[in-house]
Structure 1
Amino acid sequence: MHKTARHASLAAAGLLALTSLTACANDASSTASTGDGKGTKVKIMVGGLDKVIYLPAMLTQQLGYFDAEGLDVELLSEPAGVQAETALVSGQVQGAVGFYDHTLDLQTKGKAVESVVQFSQAPGEVEVVSTKRAGDITSPKDFKGKKLGVTGLGASTDFLTKYLAVKNGVKVSDFSPVAVGAGPTFIAALQRGSIDAGMTTDPTVATILSKKAGKVLIDMRTPEGSQAALGGPYPSSSLYMQTDWVNSHKDTVQKLVNAFVKTLNWMSTHSASEIAAKMPADYSQGDKTLYADAIKSSLPMFTKDGVMPANGPETVEKVLKAFNPNIKNADVDLSKTYTTEFVKAAK
């Protein structure tokens, strides 16, 4: 993407985020109500329902744990976590399944949002280099002048790409982030050469490797990988909600958290192929073995109990402060970005 086009799209994205953020945030408080005898209705926006990093959302639905708690949960999907965030703050949904780092970013914009259950302790993200460029991109030091794929501008893949660059001496202005989504759009961009490398998750990673379209440069699917790349545990996938809504709907939030903690526990005692078998048939895209492998690669990122990992918020703040001007000069109150009240009370 040309620089001018990129700046225009960045400006447009910024404008869009601003208008969404200023939209009435109170709408959500009236939406969760008891509907047609199916239990309390809750809408949750997921930053890509078929991404393995957000797998607990659909798996909880498939295991029947929402129903068991007396909830009627509607799961909606957007291609990038930043769009899930926008849906939450504009009041279209009551919860968002996305990266915890959005809660810090939103606090600096005057929005009180908190993670109520933490799915993971590592990003689950992988920096993949196109096979054609594998020779000249051997570390983030080589990002200079390159086109790097992210799910969306302002998404967590964008945040993490910027951090890896800055940490390795490359300025944010030295490379071009290109929004290519995930799945087929990401793979096509890699194959066409519209991006030289990019950050994505499973099952996209597994598909890229099977097609020999790219190679893994940095693997953050495990706590060890997160430690090596980011210097600590990086709590990522979570269910986050507006603090006001949480405080006024504690019973509903507790039921949601009970369901998710049960799922995380179930995941920790079942194999990747058992987990894959529970998911909707189309998630495997016709290759069940590849899909189970994708889940297996990402399983180490998940928590067993939904509890925020020790020092996780501090790592996220350090990463964001490295390149995000909003956060660099702000005093973030980390204690307001998450709560363990509900996971500790979960059955």
Structure 2
Amino acid sequence: MRTLRQLAVVSGVAFALAAASTAAQAEKLTIMVGGATKIIYLPAKLTEQLGYFKDEGLDVELLSQPAGVDAENELLAGAVQGVVGFYDHTIDLQSKGKEIEALVVFGQVPGEVEMVSTKASATVKSMADVKGKTLGVTGLGSSTAFLTQYLAQRGGIASTQYTLLPVGAGNSFIAAIQQNRIDAGMTTEPTVSQLLKTGDAKVLVDMRTLDGTRAALGGTYPASSFYVQRAWAESHKDEAGKLARAFAKTLNFIATHSAEDIAAKMPKDYYGSNKELYVAALKASLPMFTKDGKMPADGPQTVLKVLSAFNPSVKGKHIDLAKTYTDEFVSTLKTAAK
């Protein structure tokens, strides 16, 4: 009897050690964010700050890559498990034979703003006035490039009648405006609020809200999202589900808290010495976020329409939109996030 008890104790200890070892060896997941300090991608860092990754038992490392087109290359190479970037990359990559799907949709609108330099604003009153102008984008082949081309086309200006100049985001975008290297350009918060405060630029097209986006693009335009390779999602359903739940809890937190509350959770280097400006930028941006991470019904078709107009990889191709996203992993939260 004593031997049996001893065996039971030893077995119990061994089981506990094995469980602890398994927990300690939780697979590290690396997520590339297309510009971590951009408010359109705020849910990524906020999820980490709120502890929701750890609550799900995940070991997640966030890396920042200013251009989404570079982040997708890291994903395809297997260097990262997921990307926080624009949903339109899933459509572009399907046209190239790559199967990528968005598991969580952060933004139901782009959150992008076409800013015109104050110097050029006397003659550039709308996208119908950009003929002969130089327009800034984060990178050639980027989401901002396709959106810029589409807005110009809707204004009656052909893509051969202006110049696209890759100028990055944040401080490099601000410098391009201040140095008169671009007449107008597409950027996000908090850069928008910084330019408005200094008086260096004015808003030309505002896609931070549903109304503004529908007026500019003709429909809802899901943008910032979390996407992975479909094969990875299918072979790592547990991890995919936990990541989706963590992000969905964050979106619920955003929907139920003030800009001040959200800013208080962010690292100080995200707003520097001007927290007031950051809060103002957040307030202007909060309408862009979904409340549950699900794909807006009319969203994928609008994005496909924009890409089909200017992306040579997508134009004329059959795209199965149902394979570019899934709501399968997004949990519906019934209670307010902590």
> TM-score by structure 2 length?
0.91
* Alignment equivalent of 1:330, drawn from 314, 317, 332: 317
- Counterparts of 1:39 and 1:137, CA distance in 2: 54
Q: What displacement does 1:155 show? A: 1.1
Say which is worse superposed, 201-210 or 38-47, in terms of deviation.
38-47
1:177-219 Cα shifts (integer Å, max 9, x gaps): 1111111110010010000000000000010001100000000
1:121-172 Cα shifts (integer Å, max 9, x gaps): 0000000000000011111111211110111111111110011011222111
1:75-132 Cα shifts (integer Å, max 9, x gaps): 0001111111111112110000000001000001110000000001000000000000
- Counterparts of 1:35 and 1:100, CA distance in 2: 34
Residue 70 of structure 1 pairs with residue 49 of structure 2: no
| Partner SS, residue 240 of structure 2 | helix
* Alignment equivalent of 1:46, drawn from 2, 8, 33: 33
Query: Identity of counterpart residues, as a percentage?
Result: 60
Q: 1:131 touches 1:213 (CA, 8 Å); kept in 2?
A: yes
Residue 118 of structure 1 pairs with residue 105 of structure 2: yes
Quick one: which amino acid aligns to residue 93 of structure 1? V
> TM-score by structure 1 length?
0.88
Residue 284 of structure 1 pairs with residue 279 of structure 2: no
| Partner SS, residue 319 of structure 1 | helix
Alignment of 1:162-201 (within 5 A): 162-201=149-188
Quick one: which amino acid aligns to residue 49 of structure 1? A
| Partner SS, residue 310 of structure 2 | coil
Quick one: which amino acid aligns to residue 299 of structure 1? L
Quick one: which amino acid aligns to residue 171 of structure 1? A
| Gap change, CA 1:36 and 1:211, over 3 Å in 2 | farther
Correspondence for 2:8: none
Quick one: which amino acid aligns to residue 116 of structure 1? L
Q: 1:38 touches 1:70 (CA, 8 Å); kept in 2?
A: no
Quick one: which amino acid aligns to residue 186 of structure 1? F
Alignment of 1:15-30 (within 5 A): none
Correspondence for 2:292: 305
Correspondence for 1:254: 241
Q: What 5-or-longer segments of structure 1 have no aligned partner?
A: 1-33
Correspondence for 2:228: 241
Alignment of 1:63-212 (within 5 A): 63-212=50-199
- Counterparts of 1:174 and 1:89, CA distance in 2: 34
Q: How many residues align?
A: 314
Quick one: which amino acid aligns to residue 84 of structure 1? A
Correspondence for 1:58: 45
Q: What 5-or-longer segments of structure 2 have no aligned partner?
A: 1-20
Q: What displacement does 1:36 show? A: 8.2
Quick one: which amino acid aligns to residue 234 of structure 1? Y
Q: 2:220 touches 2:302 (CA, 8 Å); kept in 1?
A: yes
- Counterparts of 1:102 and 1:346, CA distance in 2: 27
Quick one: which amino acid aligns to residue 31 of structure 2? I
Correspondence for 2:301: 314
Q: What displacement does 1:37 show? A: 1.6
Q: Which has the larger radius of gyration?
A: 2
Quick one: which amino acid aligns to residue 147 of structure 1? T
